Structure 1
Amino acid sequence: MKPFKRWFGSKPEGEELIQQLDSDNIPNHVAVIMDGNGRWAQKRGLPRVAGHHSGMKNVKKITMAANAIGVRVLTMYAFSTENWKRPKEEVDYLMKLPMEFFPKEIDELIANNVQIRMTGWHEGLPDYTLKAIQDAIDQTKNNTGLILNFALNYGSRKEMLRGIQRLVADVKQGEISGEEIDESLFSRYLLTDPLPDPDLLIRTSGELRISNFMLWQLAYSELWFTELCWPEFKEHNFYEAIQEYQRRARRYGGL
């Protein structure tokens, strides 16, 4: 196994684990369901929003950890279409986090050549949330390194239904024929286009489900679960997930 020797930006924690990784088998796209912020806070006698604040600070750490080993895309599931059902106070707090996160971290993200993107629907999001995200997207659009993609106001069933509706409309208008429809073409109608499908999905907090997240895109992704809540998931835990990924054989239905 060829050890990893390149560095991108400052060295994160877990350098010893990095050196054990095979640099020829780094997942191109890692998706993360950042779960357990509220439970982490409640266990410590804190309000749930305190957990979301700690979770926000952890985003940069894991971004730098992914950047250090050459991951090309890191998608963070930040807010689902179902999360609107949560208490208004909590939702309002979550909507304000981009206003705190990006101004504080944008300089370091730019210095590390990170590009910000968003996957999800704008409708329903407050103007101040969208402005904070769009400003970050604009400031990093020319960066060529790691893509930090936030899945915000995102739900996979809605994504696929909207994609089917657009596809049907294009067929009716004669822009494509029914015979042309295949997996590759349908993928172009999803919000994640043109990103590659995730190679690895990480979910924190011990839940063993994917919660309406990238149902189409995760068809052949490796899944890795941990009991750790998101605020306590550190760089060395991320590298442990990469190690486990590298121990697996991806056969895609073959032998």
Structure 2
Amino acid sequence: MAYRVGDVLRISCPFTPTVVIGIDEAHVSVRWPWWDIDPDAEGVRWNGEVALGRADPGELYMIDPPSLRLAPGDTCRVGIQARIIHVIEVHEYDPPQDTGWLPRPSLSLLVLRAGEAPDAAAEFQGTSIEPGGGVPFTLELVFRPYAFLEAGDDVADADGRAWHFDGPWIWTAYDGGGGVPAWPLVLLTGRADPAAVAAATARESHEIEVTRWRRAAGLQDDAQPR
């Protein structure tokens, strides 16, 4: 599956046995059960451990039993209970990224948990996951805004304006004006299916598409991209 910005996903990961290495007030460090140390890494040395936030609501991974009951040397399980996330960035690496562990990831997604809106003013936001990077995630597509278009497509809207599509929240009007396209849309150029574009936009509007996405991502009414 090719992932896109805006995708709403359901993620889960089987709970897997491991060992607690260390605990402090903020984190519990465990021996990571899914990666191996990369002996050929250049300038990156990973010690085989991952530190997980003990009270971070955005932490995807959970520890069983809870970290308050654990001490270094204890056995536990680490995994992800099924939950909703949404994608805010997609990064591909060719060659795969030198991270210090194996397998080296060729794809990473920056994701937010359900109910958390993208914040352009934030210095850092989100959690990075690497599909195909060794951790046995299950990722199920729940909703994809503008699924009927491909990045790079050009469309004409109901008001006769031409638009360039680079993702569900990245619309550029060829007349230099602002706003968003008025549905229905007609494909001018690109890789999308013209019939699918016409059928998907025959009714409703950009605003309704955003509302569908917002609901799938668990966001409040005032937390929608424009």
Q: Check whether TM > 0.5.
A: no
With normalisation by structure 2, the TM-score equals 0.25
Greater Rg by CA: 2
Instruction: Tell me: higher relative CO, structure 1 or 2? Use CA pairs within 8 A at least 6 residues apart.
Output: 1
TM-score, scaled relative to structure 1: 0.23
Structure with greater proportional helix content = 1
Structure with greater proportional strand content = 2
